[in-house]
Chain A
Amino acid sequence: MHSMEIARSELLKEEVATTRLDCGLEVCVQRKRGYARKYGVFATRYGSLDTKFRRADTGEVVDVPDGLAHFLEHKLFEEESGSIDDVFAELGAYSNAFTDYTMTGYLFSCVDNFWPCLDTLLDFVMRPHFTEENVEKEKGIIEQEIKRNEDSPGWQATYRMLKAMYKRFPVRVEVAGTVDSIRSIDADILYRCYNTFYHPSNMTLFVVGDVAPDEVAERTSEALGNRDYGPAPAVECLYPQEPREVGARRVERRMPVSEPLVCFGFKDNDVGYEGTRLLRKTVCMEMLLYTLIGRSSELYNELYEAGLLDHTFDWNFDCDKDYSFAVFEGKSSSPDALVDRVCRGISDSLAGGIDRELFERARRSFIGSALRAFNSLEFIAYNFLDYHFRTMRLLDRVGVAENISLGEVIDLGKRLFDPEMLAVSVVNPL
């Protein structure tokens, strides 16, 4: 029996059991009684940002093409006998994989056959099969994916904003890379990255659904126990030093769109947060943004009535230890007027103080919405490890929201919304 550590949220009435196996793999299970569907997510702390790293054992610095983590994800799905999708389909399961800034994840969901699905997931991720031939073939498929993104106005607006905001830090680089960058990828470089980042000690298995946590740990231990993974490679990711200022204040391009699309954001140089501090900051910023420009705010409704924004308008706060930014996006007939009014509205509110009643309403809204989100296994499956790898606990969002103060929210907001740190990207019609 594996003894498992339990993290609990009294308010959500949810708990996550965690243990670390002998091979170094961490296993986390959130049991959801009564649900038919079960998800298994097997992920490594390796994402699109990790394009340059030093291995401590050899001292060698490796610099890989953009889009490599994503390429590797595509290729791991490939078996000698075909795609791993086939094996999951055989079991009646759905499978998928995804790559983002800091992680690569492999996922299945099923109703029946959970245990064979789990075995399959653990097995194929730990058994790479790259050949020059199958690597070349994949390039055609990924090229189509990149081209599809190039045709997406939303994607273009976002990435061009990030490229304007960041001069060097790789959040400015598309996760899939470019048609040019993936051209030089070969089997050798895939194996080198795989051997560096796909060691069990760098990975976590997360399961959510109606399954017993200790049985998941037991089965995983059996599935991986007989293999020798060698010592964990000590590796240091080398991120370029990002200057304080933004690279460009405003960028613009034309595409076949019906009306202008704008994406703008504030670069946050207040970085280095981890764990509960990072979670607290995330919740503070989400509540602040909701209070200032959420659907119920006076500012949002004023701009809606003025015809400067519509329901496509959305915002997000994205952060990790090494980067942090707030981003706004939407369609607008007058993008520059929208940016100006949002920025002015935010700085006026921060300077003049925020009404306590407004803030308390935003808190209630945040808590209720966070609670409702836990109805969805899909939400949990896709967000648990995203939080976990950024050293935060998804379960704690509600608890943190209950005790943050308006004062600290305003302080953080004043640091973030620096007009000098604004970058704007506009996609205009042809």
Chain B
Amino acid sequence: MDEWFTTDELPNGIDLHVMQTSKFKSTAITAVIYSDLAEDTVTLNAILPEVLTRGTRRWPRTAELMQNLDSLYGTGLSAIVGKRGERHLLIFSVDVANDAYLSANEDLLGQGLAVLRDVMFDPVLEGGAFRKDYVEQEKLNLRRRIESIIDNKLGYAFKRCNEEMFRGEPYSLHRLGRVGDIPRIDPEGLRSWHAQAVLQFPLDIFVVGDVAREHVLELVGEVFGMERAPVPFKAHVEAEHRVPAQPRRIVEAMDVNQGNLVMGYSTGITCADPDYPALLMANGIYGAYTHSKLFQNVREGESLAYSVYSGIDRNKGVMNVWAGIAPDAMDRAVEIIEAQLDDVGSGRISDDEIEKTRRAIARDIRMMGDSPSAQIDYAIVSRINGVQETPDELLRRIEAISLDDVVRVAGRLKLDTIYFLRDEGDNAGA
């Protein structure tokens, strides 16, 4: 993977990152607005993409906006809110077919960029505010989306674990915000938050496709030439997290067949930490893959779980373990899961486990080159964390990680919270 982004800054403070590659049949364009994850704005951010994709000044009706995308050869449009550590991102993307494949000389790229701009900057308004009917419908839908998190039991258990572990900290907030904030959202207030977000917050545009950098720079300069008053991108200071002396244990019961266990560990290591590659290795040996200790010993060895794996948030010093287990097996599962981490921390790791993990991580990193969205996300995360490293450079650091590095990093992991969602059987809550 030799290609990587080249960055240019537009006069209005937008940073444009372009990667030219002939691999893909379309051009992926993503614009990101960086906001902080905070109680008073989390729900405003969550509803914004929904309202903005309802209609623009040029295409005020949602059906018209979508029909225009159909005409542009099914150009994909997505507008979502994302949580990366304690940042809350507004992410707008279009994916436009490359004209070369369609014998249609229609400047799809320019038209796609214009759609992206219109959705972000030029919403349909009435009396200077968002359309009331759109805002009311999206308030209702957002509430339903938040309330439906419970329909996926493991996802719900994860949300609950986070809330308990980071109580009182921004990171406890879900990316979709809070139901309680929704009634207070109104078309005027949301519009002024929107204007602030698009005109003042840091904004990056990423382009991946078979397009020349000079051409894209010119096009984006034209389409996104609006006046902005951007605040400079500044490093974020994370809230301090205190790990309790004894892990928190929360058990809740619901009408389910399977138990869902989520454990939260504090790592203190983000991708900006020199120990990040060692943490990637430790997590890989512990639970990220099917060859990892968790899958091998909790699922295969004990037949205790259908699924069990671990993952880290590279934007935040946290690692989680997720397991689907029998509803009465919590204590046994926690014990075996903990014992696996203990083995990692004590260096009871075979050369085989280390090398399998190293190869799996190398594969995952190199595979990113096949996916525009994976590369864009990597670049966004690097930007947030002030990391300059390309995937190739990260790969080289992974090659150099030793058993001692893994053991040292595993020693920094502390179990913070155990959350278990179980059935409503006779022993529930015991």
Contact = CB atoms under 8 A, between A and B. Distances in A.
Interface string B363-382: 10011011110000000000
A144 interface: yes
Contacts of A311: 141
Nearest to B362: A92
Interface residues of B, number: 66
A94 B352 contact: no
A297 B63 contact: yes
A241 to B, nearest CB: 34
Contacts of A150: 257
Contacts of B254: 256
A94 B363 contact: yes
A304 B152 CA distance: 23
B70 A361 contact: yes
Interface stretch (B21-29, B40-48, B183-191, B219-227): B21-29
A18 to B, nearest CB: 23
B366 A374 contact: no
Interface string B340-374: 00000000000010011001101100110111100
Contact of A298 (B23, B63, B70, B150): B63
A41 B399 CA distance: 29
Interface stretch (A163-171, A334-342, A363-371): A363-371
Interface in A32-88: 34-37, 82-83, 85-86
A222 interface: no
Given A13-B101, A92-B359, A368 B352 contact: no
Interface stretch (B7-15, B73-81, B82-90): B73-81
B363 A110 contact: yes
A21 interface: no
Interface residues of A, number: 66
B258 A83 contact: no
A356 interface: no
B63 A301 contact: yes
Interface in B242-258: 254-258
A291 to B, nearest CB: 10
A383 interface: no
B73 A37 contact: no
A372 B97 contact: yes
A364 B362 CA distance: 39
A109 B147 CA distance: 37
Interface string A151-173: 11100000000000000000000
Nearest to B23: A34
B26 A92 contact: no
Contact of A364 (B71, B76, B305): B71
B335 interface: no
Contact of A144 (B62, B289, B306): B306
Interface in A220-266: 255-259, 261
Interface string A122-158: 0000000000000001001100110110111100000
Given A258-B150, A368-B102, A37 B370 contact: yes
B151 A257 contact: yes
B217 interface: no
B299 interface: yes
Contacts of A23: none
A315 B426 CA distance: 41
A147 B325 CA distance: 10
A430 B255 CA distance: 9
A368 B23 contact: no
A147 B257 contact: yes
B22 to A, nearest CB: 7
A140 B300 CA distance: 10
A148, A300, A374: which has the most chain B beta carbons within 10 Å? A148
Given A259-B148, A305-B137, A111 B63 contact: no
B272 interface: no
A141 B299 contact: yes
Interface string A350-380: 0000000000011011111101101111000
A361 B137 CA distance: 27
B151 A258 contact: yes
A266 B207 CA distance: 42
B366 A111 contact: yes
- Cβ-closest 10 pairs across A and B: A368-B73, A92-B359, A144-B306, A296-B66, A368-B74, A89-B291, A365-B74, A369-B74, A365-B70, A140-B303
Interface of B: 1, 21-26, 61-63, 66-67, 69-76, 95, 97, 101-102, 133, 137, 140-141, 144-145, 147-148, 150-153, 254-258, 289-291, 299-300, 303, 305-307, 324-326, 352, 355-356, 359-360, 362-363, 366-367, 369-372
16 contacts: A89-B359, A91-B359, A111-B362, A112-B359, A144-B306, A144-B326, A148-B306, A148-B307, A148-B324, A365-B70, A367-B73, A368-B73, A369-B76, A371-B25, A374-B25, A375-B23
Given A35-B369, A36-B367, A111-B366, 4 more contacts: A36-B1, A89-B290, A89-B359, A93-B363
Interface of A: 11-13, 34-37, 82-83, 85-86, 89-95, 109-112, 137, 140-141, 144-145, 147-148, 150-153, 255-259, 261, 295-298, 300-301, 304-305, 307, 310-311, 331, 361-362, 364-369, 371-372, 374-377, 430
